[in-house]
Structure 1
Amino acid sequence: MKLTKKQIRKSIFDILIYILGGSLYSIGINSFASPNNIAPGGLTGVGVIINHIFGFPIGVLIIVLNIPLFIIGLKELGKYFLIKTIIATVTMSVLIDVSAAFLPVYTGNTLLACLYGGLLTGAGLALVFMRGATTGGTDIIAKLINRKFKFLSIGRIILLMDLLIISASAIAFKSIESALYAVIMIFASSRIIDSALYGADRGKMLFIITSKPEELSKAIMKKVSRGVTMLDGTGAYSNDIRYILMCAVRRHEAAKVHEIIKNIDNKAFIITTEAGEITGEGFKDLYTP
């Protein structure tokens, strides 16, 4: 299929954003996290640990560890989303290894190192998320595990994996403090991502008024794995029948839903509101305090 000029411009812009995000992320890892023995969770954290023990380049390790996940996750992610994720992951990984040769290293106050490392990695990841991609890794693993064990939310699975990686870093670096600083860095990074994407809210509620309710709801359920409620409505002025889709998503998923809507019904009317708390399947457990 031949790409239009608009699609080509969008693809080029996406890649430029990935480069910018990857640059910020690589500074956070090479200048602050890795020199201070801080493994920031995810496959990057695994890469930092292996790099410390064997000296293998972190970026190469991230790509190698992601390859089987990309193959396994093809069905879960979808072809288009997978391509964007591969491009973002490779771009970020290459920048981590290339910049390692010339970036200055900070080994002063470790608390400052983990805070600035979290700020930079969070900003870098937020830019990638804004363009509808991820950096693979534990996100894919969590989605695959969630499909088999529905009682475990994706957020909890990622948290458990990060805790395992952080615990491994304490053993590898022979320092409990390194693990504690990693927790601070992960927290700082997640807060930056939240603030950059949609603020500090816990989720988003989307109300979509569309003429293609069936097609849209199926696409959202398939590509984002979120439930959709269909409501009947009537236009007050025209008296025409309208269909309203109601969908609750996590912060980072809202941009992907908007992309889906734009591709299927670019005349849809969308209302996105902040959800202070979402409880139920796929989110916080109803009985969790």
Structure 2
Amino acid sequence: MSKTIKEYIIIFLGTTIVAAGLAIFLIPSNLAVGGISGLAIVINSHFPQIPVGLTMTVMNVILLLIAFILIGRQFGARTIFASFTLSGTIWLMELILPIAGPPVENIFLNLFYGILMGAIGMAIVFYYNASTGGTDIIAKIINNFYQVDIGKSLLAADFLVIILAAFTFGIELGLFALLGIMINSFTIDYIIAGFNLKIQLTIITSKPEKIKSYINENIERGATIYKAEGAFTGQAKDVIITAMDKREFFALKSYIAEVDENAFVMVSHVKEVLGEGFSY
């Protein structure tokens, strides 16, 4: 299976999670928590004969054209796939498994779980250079051109929808929706930061060749080596600095314990690494 197909499968799964959160928790509760989906919920409340999924599909077509022009064909193609998966899944759920009301009476629980599912799914979709359409596209454009975090960009793009929701469903639901997009914003940024999180290692060792070879050949990462001197012993030491994923770190950690039990290793979490093997 090619890398592209795998990524599309993951995007599909992420989008399905978003759709489930909307269809099960948010739409039945009239929680228009921003985005095209929120705007579609507002329209549906005034015109019940217009399905939420259909409204989302029409509005997404317009924004997708903008995505192709401003962000590029790869993002545009993946966003088409994700947005039609989202609106199509919601539409099918409305037709096949119509939900008369929210699963629980507590509106905060419906908000929390609907937003949590949506944020997890959207973070997955954003990570693979796509979006679920709608105001997500606007957020991605802001992120690309102004380097603002995706979650914060989404918060700004969704604010107008929240105002409309407050006028339509009342101040209380509007405030719940505002709380929802704030939770959504910070959760997405937190999850994406977790996806991007790398491990930086500073290794002081007397077996630099073995460790360097393992990093280069087994883990297939680069490293930088420089000479140092132990302050207490005065002995010459080699210091290796490298960065890698968590899974690779655990493999290297085990190997270092085998070949040099006296090695001194400092481990740091790095928010992002740019360069060959990481950003391209």
Q: Same fold (TM over 0.5)?
A: yes
Q: 1:139 to 1:35 in 2, by over 3 A?
A: closer
For the pair 1:171 / 2:171, whether they are aligned, the reply is: no
Q: 1:111 to 1:66 in 2, by over 3 A?
A: same
- Kindly state the Cα deviation for residue 166 of structure 1 after the two structures are TM-superposed: 0.5
For the pair 1:58 / 2:40, whether they are aligned, the reply is: no
Match of 2:186 among 191, 201, 209: 191
More deviation in 17-26 or 90-99? Answer: 17-26
Q: 1:167 to 1:154 in 2, by over 3 A?
A: same
- Kindly state the Cα deviation for residue 42 of structure 1 after the two structures are TM-superposed: 1.2
Deviations 1:121-152 (A, max 9, x none): 1111122123221123224335667999x7x9
Asked if structure 1 preserves the Cα contact closer than 8 Å seen for 2:154 and 2:185, the reply is no
More deviation in 156-165 or 15-24? Answer: 156-165
Q: What is the correspondence of 1:200-279 to structure 2 with a 5 Å cutoff?
A: 273-274=270-271
Aligned to 2:253: none
- Kindly state the Cα deviation for residue 14 of structure 1 after the two structures are TM-superposed: 2.7
Aligned to 1:132: 129
Q: Which amino acid aligns with 1:190?
A: S
TM-score, normalised to structure 2's length?
0.62
- Kindly state the Cα deviation for residue 64 of structure 1 after the two structures are TM-superposed: 1.0
- Kindly state the Cα deviation for residue 103 of structure 1 after the two structures are TM-superposed: 6.0
For the pair 1:109 / 2:106, whether they are aligned, the reply is: yes
The CA distance in 2 between the partners of 1:118 and 1:236, in whole Å, is 46
Q: What is the correspondence of 1:71-150 to structure 2 with a 5 Å cutoff?
A: 71-100=65-94, 101-102=96-97, 104=99, 105-141=102-138
- Kindly state the Cα deviation for residue 204 of structure 1 after the two structures are TM-superposed: 8.0
- Kindly state the Cα deviation for residue 17 of structure 1 after the two structures are TM-superposed: 2.1
Aligned to 1:38: 31
Asked if structure 1 preserves the Cα contact closer than 8 Å seen for 2:150 and 2:188, the reply is no
- Kindly state the Cα deviation for residue 236 of structure 1 after the two structures are TM-superposed: 6.1
Contiguous gaps of at least 5 residues in structure 2: 201-223, 227-267, 273-280
Match of 2:42 among 49, 58, 76: 49
- Kindly state the Cα deviation for residue 161 of structure 1 after the two structures are TM-superposed: 3.4
| RMSD over equivalenced CA pairs, Å | 3.4
The CA distance in 1 between the partners of 2:143 and 2:15, in whole Å, is 28
Aligned to 2:6: 13
TM-score, normalised to structure 1's length?
0.60
- Kindly state the Cα deviation for residue 157 of structure 1 after the two structures are TM-superposed: 6.0
Return structure 1 stretches of 4+ with deviation > 3 angstroms.
139-148, 152-161
Q: 1:126 to 1:153 in 2, by over 3 A?
A: closer
The CA distance in 2 between the partners of 1:185 and 1:146, in whole Å, is 21
The CA distance in 2 between the partners of 1:119 and 1:57, in whole Å, is 24
Q: Which amino acid aligns with 2:63?
A: L
The CA distance in 2 between the partners of 1:73 and 1:83, in whole Å, is 9
Deviations 1:131-188 (A, max 9, x none): 221123224335667999x7x9987664343221111011112x10111111222233
Give the SS at the match of 1:35: coil
Give the SS at the match of 2:130: coil
Q: 1:130 to 1:171 in 2, by over 3 A?
A: same
Contiguous gaps of at least 5 residues in structure 1: 1-5, 208-234, 238-270, 276-289
- Kindly state the Cα deviation for residue 272 of structure 1 after the two structures are TM-superposed: 8.6
Asked if structure 2 preserves the Cα contact closer than 8 Å seen for 1:25 and 1:121, the reply is yes
Aligned to 1:258: none
The CA distance in 1 between the partners of 2:9 and 2:157, in whole Å, is 30
Q: 1:92 to 1:155 in 2, by over 3 A?
A: closer
Q: 1:111 to 1:82 in 2, by over 3 A?
A: same
